[in-house]
Chains A and B, each alone.
Chain A
């Protein structure tokens, strides 16, 4: 493999890994803030225990997201310096603003929340958590605006040296691609958090019922409320995921038609166009003609254009159109390295786009199904004891993670061979575009990138083991063990906030397990 391929693997691995933590941080952060708010408003003990318990899970996960996020900012410069030079006028400012407006908010107020139990007034303490959560969401907005600008560059003109020059910052921030992708990512993050609450909550409810534990105590209320909250959030988020996904899909049919047609393995332009349900191809071939598909007639036209008869362009026509405009071959220029002068394949890897798209939707559906089951099985105070149902729900905690990862693999692999995709809304001579093949840093050697890929890979693997170990242990232990301070003040009590952190050893132990 050459530097370009290794650097692409590195970017893919580190980014997908980072994005395992991100949706849980965003989704669970929001839900913990809701729990904390409910406790402040109602004073009910289960909300405090839920805040504490899910707050710990949130923090263990948050820090790995922060740590792996560092790599993201630096690797644009390290491995993709030509890309960084090319997009500098737009892309860098979005990263800097993300740090200034979001990361400071997130990190500073999270520190205040962790160490603020009993030290600052109750409502201010709650506001600190909300500030941190808002920080996470703002950060998601900026980074998705940056990514969406690569997918659909707006607000720029072509500069003297061929690089994009920013002319309209607001257009970059209100890029329709960004608005759709951001709302899709946020609701997808809520599905991740909802699935976790459901899976863990059901498992504890069942275990307690089999152990004949009372169903009137606070712990029971904790798990029951977790399941109900998680279930409702998951289902509502699934509806929104579908709606925002449809919005994104329709934009994509216009902005990146090759991505969507590859996702459907639609070779020829068809009207009405059928939706593929299952496809198989000759191994190792990226020729569309080698793909065979089971299809539902007309459905793809509907998804793309809201009617059952409109034409949808096929991969082969699009390939020719793109080749006519953007060149049959890469320019014979040293910046393209070994690929200079070679033929350009405008079709993304069909198997990757086709299956990542289906994996995303399928896993989202699994998650919604589990949420519906959980709500049904816990209706009117019931507790399910079905081993398959409960353990299946616990296993399905992974489904929305897979869906999120698959969605990004689809988005990023589907826009190849471009790293900055030409915007079809502007005339060709005013378009900016950049091939992935010319984006990599010219001065670095394959050995260097191998070294970083292997060392980051090994470290990430080890950290994944520790994170899973910690989360599993935390989740198995549940709410009571080591959480003595969760004994709450009575509703309407006049006890001061400081009393939530009494100065005995066990209480300190709990603060320790929360922070230090």
Chain B
């Protein structure tokens, strides 16, 4: 395997890791108004939901920074084509991520209920905007952007947005909603756990449809036998997830739903390879990993650093999840050990 392919795989792993990890905190944030009850109990519900992602959301978000950084580092031609072509959508993503991040830390700086409720809504809104925006950008970079031979966008500010970005946005938002519900079912106890499970049971078959459609489309365009099999695995994992939720096996359901994403993302990136930005103007303008890549020397250096650094990162991030492995309940001080 050449270095370009290795780094294409690394970038794919980083984006998938981001969607997998940040996916559930996007989902939990988006479900705050859905799974929280009305009135005073609702406030307690929402606090409980936020506590499940409190220690980890920032670490999850670093996967996005690393994924974008790796695109820049390994494939500047991809980075410099993709971002300006979707200038305003990316700015909207940034605005969403900014307000969401500050809301996480600032909402508990005052005990005024209105203050708390406002920032909680900001978390929900910012997360939804960011999830949809990242999905739209990924949809566009796998299904096509209007770029010319220099990698410059043809058409106006919104030329990059089309049905492919709508599909990508729907895929990430819908997947994250169910993902968040399954995470809550796994991480909490009490009435919230039941409501989260009921949500996942009802919506998991639907929640994967846009994602499967997106992966399936990319597969039909340029897939191989392997990506076809991967797509079937993803589809099968939806069924498995649903049956596991029905049997109240939250851990297995969560693993099943994670498999949906892993297999779909493998289908997407596997089928798109080696094109990183397909041009809707002409296939001759497609940006591939070869032309977008940096020198072999730089890729070699990064490979060595990543080979040492990434396992360490994975180890300590996994360890923090283990430290905070307890199920949480609304009553302070009465945490039960995870089943």
Contact = CB atoms under 8 A, between A and B. Distances in A.
B84 A81 contact: yes
A271 interface: no
A78 to B, nearest CB: 5
Contacts of A452: 87-88, 91
B36 to A, nearest CB: 15
A113 to B, nearest CB: 10
Contact of B317 (A78, A104, A448, A451): A104
Interface stretch (B27-35, B69-77, B169-177): B69-77
Interface residues of A, number: 80
Given A60-B106, A88-B76, A447-B157, A96 B87 contact: no
Given A88-B294, A104-B313, A459-B95, A169 B301 contact: yes
Contacts of B154: 443
B94 A81 contact: no
A175 B270 CA distance: 39
Interface string B27-58: 00000000000000000000100110011101
A444 interface: yes
B80 A81 contact: yes
Given A111-B55, A114-B55, A512 B108 contact: yes
A167 B297 contact: yes
Interface stretch (A38-46, A115-123, A348-356): A115-123
Contacts of A515: 54, 108
Interface stretch (B96-104, B197-205, B218-226, B249-257): B96-104
A505 B111 CA distance: 14
A447 B156 CA distance: 10
A456 B154 CA distance: 25
A463 B68 CA distance: 25
A91 B70 CA distance: 11
Nearest to A61: B105
Given A100-B310, A100-B313, A516-B50, A455 B91 contact: yes
B2 interface: no
A237 to B, nearest CB: 27
Contact of A111 (B56, B83, B101, B332): B56
A109 to B, nearest CB: 8
A248 interface: no
A84 B55 contact: no
A99 to B, nearest CB: 4
Given A96-B72, A115-B54, A115-B324, A81 B298 contact: no
Contacts, number: 230
A513 B108 contact: yes
Contacts of B51: 516
Interface residues of B, number: 69
Contacts of A88: 72-73, 76-77, 79-80, 294
Interface stretch (B59-67, B180-188, B233-241): B59-67
Contact of A101 (B76, B101, B309): B309
A114 B323 CA distance: 13
A445 B294 contact: no
Chain B contact surface mostly: helix
B102 A103 contact: no
Nearest to B50: A516
Nearest to B98: A67
B153 interface: yes
A99 B98 CA distance: 17
Contacts of A463: 98, 102
B119 to A, nearest CB: 10
Contacts of A120: 323
Nearest to B69: A96
A34 interface: no
A444 B152 CA distance: 9
Given A104-B66, A512-B108, A92 B294 contact: yes
Contacts of B91: 78, 451-452, 455-456
Interface of B: 47, 50-51, 54-56, 58-59, 61-62, 65-66, 68-70, 72-74, 76-77, 79-85, 87-88, 90-91, 94-95, 97-99, 101-102, 104-106, 108-109, 111, 150-154, 156-157, 294-295, 297-298, 301-302, 305-306, 309-310, 313, 316-317, 320, 323-324, 332-333
11 contacts: A79-B84, A81-B80, A89-B298, A96-B70, A104-B59, A104-B316, A105-B313, A108-B313, A120-B323, A443-B152, A452-B91
Interface of A: 59-60, 62-64, 66-68, 70-71, 73-74, 76-79, 81-82, 84-85, 87-101, 103-105, 107-112, 114-116, 119-120, 159, 165-167, 169, 441-445, 447-449, 451-452, 455-456, 459, 463, 466, 470, 473-474, 503, 505, 508-509, 512-513, 515-516
- Top 6 A-B pairs, shortest CB-CB distance: A88-B76, A503-B333, A77-B83, A92-B72, A96-B73, A96-B69
